[in-house]
Structure 1
Amino acid sequence: MIIIAAFITGLVIGSFLNVCIYRIPEGKSIVYPPSHCPNCGERIKWYDNIPVISYLFLKGKCRNCGSPISIQYPLVELLTGFLTAAVVYKFGLTLTALYYAVFIWSLIVISLIDIKTMLVPVKLCYFTMLFGILLSPFIPQITFKDSVLGASFGAGIILFIIETYYVITGKEGMGYGDANIMAVVGAFLGWKNILVTLFFASLVGAVIGIVLMATKGKNFKSALPFGPFISIGAVIALFFGNQLINWYLGGIVK
């Protein structure tokens, strides 16, 4: 029942995250005005704003004007629901669960904005990083020192990659916004899991890139937002990072 309640809570949070994803890039308030159709401006009734269910009932269209509603909305709600339930399953009903749920919720917003605009919301990254650092003394899984080092190392390693690539090629590769995302990751997961995150982010990014080249005619010069891949790597690191690090170090010792 606790996991089901966490999933439902995640669905509701996901609905709010959709508002953030839509409004933050446009510099609008995320609390006012209430949710409304972006096409006709009609305020959305509460019974048309039930996560996932309303989308299915309305067949993906606005009740008032009939304009299509993006599939992003139920997908974000479901993703948030499943990941919130997973965090509660791993950490229980604890401050730690809330701490890492906020981390995941922020990554979802950052990733979707990056996908839609190719820009990273710097202010959101900054405040999320501060949240991670300031609450770290109360979280058993990470120390304040490790949080600060992780944020510094996360941003630093990306900046090093960016500058090195520019010196070698004379061109920009990764965006500076990715350094902000990695600072957030490091603040919550520590410096060791920065390496785990980068490994899986690069792996997933490479696979997606190859698939796009094979199916969409993309080439190596096509720009892809790296933020979502960092987020995927960070989620993997959150749930399995310490086990992977212990396994890897154990293998080296042997």
Structure 2
Amino acid sequence: MRTLYDFLSANLVWLVAVALLFGLLIGSFLNVVIHRLPIMLQRGWEQDCARLTGGSVQEGTRYDLLMPPSHCPACLQPVKPWQNLPLISFVLLRGRCAACEMPISRRYPLVELATGLVFALMAWQLGPGSELAGAILLTAALIALAFIDADTQLLPDCLTLPLLWAGLLFNLVTGLVPLADAVLGAVFGYLALWLVYWAFRLATGKEGMGYGDFKLLAALGAWLGWQALPLVILLSSLVGALIGIALIMVHRAGRNQALPFGPYLAAAGWIAFLWGDRIMTWYLHG
């Protein structure tokens, strides 16, 4: 009797279609994470500060990734299940709340579509198996981290640290990267940006990046191994420079405005996971 794995292995089109649909669903959940997680962290910090200073702590209503249910931020009308279908609901509602017709941010369908497309691309490139499962987990975390950093210039420990441990466990189970290389990747990834941070701070008296960037590169090192770190740093710096110049040229960022580095690290890490070996082969032998 053929298993689902055998069927998807023999039918690449179906595998890509399933990955696309799954990506749309995960993208919908990532929208919740991107929006709510910073608010959850801010409320937690405020409560911790109140406890340390002896102030009153207001618990308030429950607020996490599950509660309260999805609702319009303008009219607070709950979103019905059929209004929360990835991409489809946005089109049917013409990009507006069904109750008050408040415009819905275009980021929501864009994140859903982007997640679906990259999941489909990974399925086409990798085929079914543990490598694809790891790629899906890594990519979902990187998308959430990239958008949160772009919004708040924060890379939460509750995402970067589990991602690091997940990379080590993934390579321990699959052997895709030797465990020793993964451990050294985590160590060298953290130290590389830590040294850059302190060199820049001693030279200029300013902070060029945050500690979250160190942890994100450490997580990427745990997934990719220490050999991939130079490529990740090079790609992220190149992408960051190009986007920074573009933003300055269109007057969306000042020359002295701090730009988050996390999205560029995330993009570079994803590229290195999928095509790092090909890029290095092309560079060395092309």
| TM-score of Structure 1 vs Structure 2, range by shorter chain | over 0.9
Cα displacement (A) at 1:231: 1.1
Q: Does 1:18 pair with 2:53? A: no
Q: Does 1:172 pair with 2:207? A: yes
Q: Does 1:188 pair with 2:223? A: yes
Asked if the contact 2:19/2:123 (under 8 Å) is kept, the reply is yes
Counterpart among 112, 116, 119 of residue 81 in structure 1: 116
Corresponding letter in the other structure for 1:190: G
Asked if the contact 1:12/1:77 (under 8 Å) is kept, the reply is yes
Asked if the contact 2:170/2:223 (under 8 Å) is kept, the reply is no
CA distance in 2, matches of 1:217, 1:43: 35
Which structure has the greater CA radius of gyration? 2
CA distance in 2, matches of 1:4, 1:69: 27
Cα displacement (A) at 1:183: 1.4
Corresponding letter in the other structure for 2:163: T
CA distance in 1, matches of 2:36, 2:85: 19
TM-score normalised by L of structure 2: 0.84
TM-score normalised by L of structure 1: 0.94
What is the aligned partner in structure 2 of residue 37 from structure 1?
72
Could you list the per-position Cα deviations for residues 176-197 of structure 1 after superposition, in whole angstroms to 9, with x for gaps in the alignment?
2111111121111111212111
Asked if the contact 1:125/1:181 (under 8 Å) is kept, the reply is yes
CA distance in 2, matches of 1:168, 1:200: 24
Cα displacement (A) at 1:250: 4.0
Give the alignment's Cα RMSD to 1 decimal: 1.5
- Aligned pair in 2 of structure 1 residues 167, 44: CA closer, same or farther (>3 Å)? same
Residue segments in structure 1 that go unaligned for 5+ positions in a row: none
Asked if the contact 1:100/1:188 (under 8 Å) is kept, the reply is no
CA distance in 2, matches of 1:137, 1:217: 44
CA distance in 1, matches of 2:229, 2:255: 25
Counterpart among 150, 165, 171 of residue 130 in structure 1: 165
Could you list the per-position Cα deviations for residues 186-225 of structure 1 after superposition, in whole angstroms to 9, with x for gaps in the alignment?
1111112121111111111111111111111634311111
Counterpart among 233, 239, 246 of residue 211 in structure 1: 246
CA distance in 1, matches of 2:224, 2:156: 20
What is the aligned partner in structure 2 of residue 153 from structure 1?
188
Q: Percent identity?
A: 39
Corresponding letter in the other structure for 1:124: L
Asked if the contact 2:119/2:136 (under 8 Å) is kept, the reply is yes
Q: Does 1:103 pair with 2:138? A: yes
Could you list the per-position Cα deviations for residues 85-135 of structure 1 after superposition, in whole angstroms to 9, with x for gaps in the alignment?
122222211122111111010000001011111111121111111111122
CA distance in 2, matches of 1:88, 1:113: 26
Asked if the contact 1:114/1:120 (under 8 Å) is kept, the reply is yes
CA distance in 1, matches of 2:200, 2:189: 17
Q: Does 1:6 pair with 2:19? A: yes
Corresponding letter in the other structure for 2:146: S
